[in-house]
A and B are shown apart, each in its own frame.
Chain A
Amino acid sequence: GEDVEQSLFLSVREGDSSVINCTYTDSSSTYLYWYKQEPGAGLQLLTYIFSNMDMKQDQRLTVLLNKKDKHLSLRIADTQTGDSAIYFCAEIRTNTDKLIFGTGTRLQVFP
């Protein structure tokens, strides 16, 4: 289908790791992104991965890409209460500048 799918909700304890999953649709996507949206705010780019990479690590964030399964994940180590937000994966469709967003995952971190 055309949708970029994510699970709706994830709840973790502070200090644990969080893993947010995304299934995208365009196997030719060159870049895949993770954005964070706090309540009532715009989107903040967290990280991105180029399609020829399997993994990218950036401080507490680890992105894994499985091109065969068109599966993208974001791991947040040592999750903090400030990480509570909605996380969107996004892909750039081939030959366009258009970002196609996933359905969003609400991450709730409790003490």
Chain B
Amino acid sequence: GAVVSQHPSWVICKSGTSVKIECRSLDFQATTMFWYRQFPKQSLMLMATSNEGSKATYEQGVEKDKFLINHASLTLSTLTVTSAHPEDSSFYICSSTTGGYNEQFFGPGTRLTVL
């Protein structure tokens, strides 16, 4: 089946630093990737939709300069949290779709803790 990986699984960083999270589709080409954010005991909130070779589409309320998304190839999308602050601490999950019945395949998530 379709496998999506994320790296790293868990990152702890100091306030003010930038953190890059990678999302890879391992056995398929993903034209579209999605980035979600999940706070503890809450649902997933879509942050942005990224298409290979074009700019990401951000959801309302998500700062594009804060959360930089690069979808440089059909198998890799990256999310960079710039100048991270404690309120950015969250679980970030990516997913990708191959079309069909719109099934999205989810990565295992990256837990970001900003001190």
A-B complex is real? yes
Chain A: residues with CB nearer than 8 A to chain B? 30-31, 33, 35, 40-45, 48, 50, 88, 92, 97-104
Partner of A101, one of B43, B101, B108, B109: B43
Interface flags, B92-115, vs A, CB<8A=1, else 0: 010101000111111111010000
Q: Residue of A at shortest CB range from B105? A: A45
Question: Residues of B contacting A30 with CB < 8 Å?
Answer: 102
Partner of B106, one of A31, A40, A44, A98: A44
Flag whether B78 is at the interface (Cβ < 8 A): no
Question: Contacts A97-B97, A98-B49, A104-B43 hold; do A42 and B107 have CB atoms under 8 A apart?
Answer: yes
Question: Contacts A40-B109, A42-B107, A101-B43 hold; do A31 and B93 have CB atoms under 8 A apart?
Answer: no
| Cα-based distance from A22 to B78 in the complex (angstroms) | 32
| Cα-based distance from A100 to B101 in the complex (angstroms) | 15
| Cα-based distance from A98 to B59 in the complex (angstroms) | 10
Partner of A43, one of B6, B32, B44: B44
Pairs across A and B, CB under 8 Å, 20 listed = A30-B102, A40-B109, A41-B108, A42-B4, A44-B106, A45-B103, A45-B104, A45-B105, A48-B103, A50-B101, A97-B32, A97-B97, A98-B49, A99-B95, A99-B104, A102-B43, A103-B42, A103-B43, A104-B42, A104-B43
